[in-house]
Amino acid sequence: MKAYAYAPGKIIVCGEHFVVYGATALAAAINKGTTALAESSSTTTIYSNNLKVQADLSASNIPEKLKPLAAAITAVKEYLNERRGVKLKIRSDLPPRSGLGSSSSSAVATVAATALALGHKLSLDEVIKLAMSAERLVHKNPSGVDVQVSARGGLLLFKKGATPEALHLSRTVNFVVACTGVERRTSDLIERVRVWREQNPSLFNSFVESSTIMSWCCADALCSGDLRRAGAILNFFHAALSWLGISIKEIDTIVEAALSSSALGAKLTGAGGGGSVIILCSEEGVENVIKTVSNVASEVFATPLPNRGLKSWLQKS
Ligand code: MEV
């Protein structure tokens, strides 16, 4: 039997970085993600179609880029007390290191497909717990928001350590994602914000509180279809995150281009320092925004919300 799992990537609508320090963030699954194919085997091998890299878990020299997936498989095997291994193949249509949750969607899909290939359908909570072991290897001190969104899908209000609140959108909300093409490591950006916080502790704490309040307001605005209000909140978040020093010229150029066309709001999403910009649009504005930002971004695509979370299935070989 072949076991498949698909898990989407994510955008942080608002509250990134502050969420690491206890703020509530608003995040959503997008329409791109990662598919894992696993088959039970006596040994464990991993092949990444995007990276064109292969690893054998019995070897000592596992390529750095595949270590998080190796950790995810090991976590599943230990949890299930399994001696068998899996032959895992992974393919993603998410640009890597672009702030769109490629590592978490890979971890979630890997955990679910591995368990299924070994004869176990894990609950969503079990998948999330096991995928976090891979995510910790990549991001050191992650809040867990990326893994939660990838597994659960939809639009979520997330606070570290609590069960996320799933929100209902009364109608489709249109975002455009524009990638800078500048790759960066989330852990480096988390460290940069940690240093900023150490130097400005009271101000940072007040931002954490503001971030929660503004994420609630943005959730309310999106759910009730008040896109102008949601867009205004996104713009303010972009200013605050830039002030922390995590925006770069390429991001600001995209934000400026988006707002000069028909965007309702635009901000960096995820860790910053490169990665991607999210742009909130009316349905009629999407085409115009895509045309304008395509001149200054490396990759641009529309992602209407909501989108599904983890899905896993078996197929006869
Ligand atoms: C990364 O997608 C979002 C950050 O807030 C880190 C985290 O929450 O783990 C920057």
Protein residue closest via CA to atom 9 of ligand 1 = 142
Closest CA to 96 of 179, 191, 28: 179
The answer to the question of residue 122 being in a domain is yes
Residues 88 and 48 in one domain: yes
Q: How confident is the model at residue 93 (pLDDT cuts 50, 70, 90)?
A: very high
Per the structure, how many domains does the chain have?
A: 2
- Per-residue pLDDT of 243-254, as tens digits, reads 999 999 999 999
Picking from 135, 167, 199, the residue at the C-terminal end of a domain is 167
Ligand 1 centroid to residue 94 C-alpha, Å: 17
Name the residue of 16, 21, 184 to mutate for ligand 1: max ligand atoms within 8 A of Cβ: 16
Same domain, 208 and 284: yes
Average pLDDT over residues 239-244: 96
The mean pLDDT of 100-123, rounded to a whole number, is: 97
Distance, CA of 214 to CA of 236 (rounded, Å): 9
Q: What is the band of 136 on the pLDDT scale with cuts at 50, 70, 90? A: confident
Q: Which two tokens stand for residue 33?
A: 């993600």
Residue 313 lies in a domain: no
* 43 in a structural domain: yes
Structure tokens at 41: 């085997």
Last residue of a domain, one of 107, 136, 167: 167
Same domain, 143 and 223: no
151 and 29 in a single domain? The answer is yes
Q: Is the same domain home to 162 and 215? A: no
pLDDT recorded at residue 112: 98
Q: Confidence class of residue 135 from pLDDT cuts 50, 70 and 90?
A: confident
Torsion of CA 76, 81, 83, 86, to 10 degrees: -20
Domain boundary among 167, 189, 210: 167
**∠ CA(297), CA(261), CA(243), 5° rounding?**
65
E-strand ranges in 161-256 read 165-167, 173-179
Beta bridge partners of 6: 35, 311
**Same domain? 91 vs 182:** no
Q: Report whether pLDDT(140) > 90.
A: no
User: Domain residues for 298?
Assistant: 173-305
Three-state SS at 267? strand
252 and 135 together in one domain: no
Q: What is the pLDDT of residues 177-188, one digit of tens each?
A: 999 999 988 889
**Residue 316 is assigned to a structural domain of this protein:** no
Residue 315 domain flag: no
CA of 41 to the centre of ligand 1 (A): 35
Say if 223 falls within a structural domain: yes
Q: How far is the CA of 136 from the centre of ligand 1 (A)?
A: 11
In a domain, 314, yes or no: no
- pLDDT tens readout for residues 148-197: 999 999 999 999 999 999 999 989 999 999 999 999 888 899 999 999 99
Confidence (pTM) = 0.96
Nearest to 138 by CA among 74, 190, 86: 190
Residues assigned a catalytic role: 146
- What is the whole-number distance in angstroms between the Cα of residue 189 and the centre of ligand 1? 9
- Answer yes or no: do 33 and 138 share one domain: yes
130 and 177 within one domain: no
User: Which residue's structure tokens are 């999330």?
Assistant: 128
The token pair at 187 is 């852990």
Query: Within 6 Å (CB) of ligand 1, which residues are found?
Result: 12, 16-17, 19-20, 139, 142-143, 145-146, 186, 190, 270-271
pLDDT of residue 58: 84
CATH number for position 230: 3.30.70.890
The answer on 212 and 163 residing in a single domain is no
User: Can you name the residues that pair with 311 across neighbouring β-strands?
Assistant: 6
pLDDT at 39 over 90: yes
**Angstrom distance (rounded) from CA 259 to CA 43:** 52
| Confidence (pLDDT) at 127 | 98
Establish if 283 belongs to a structural domain: yes
Domain of residue 116, CATH code: 3.30.230.10
**Residue 182 and residue 160 in one domain:** no
Domain co-membership, 212 together with 145: no
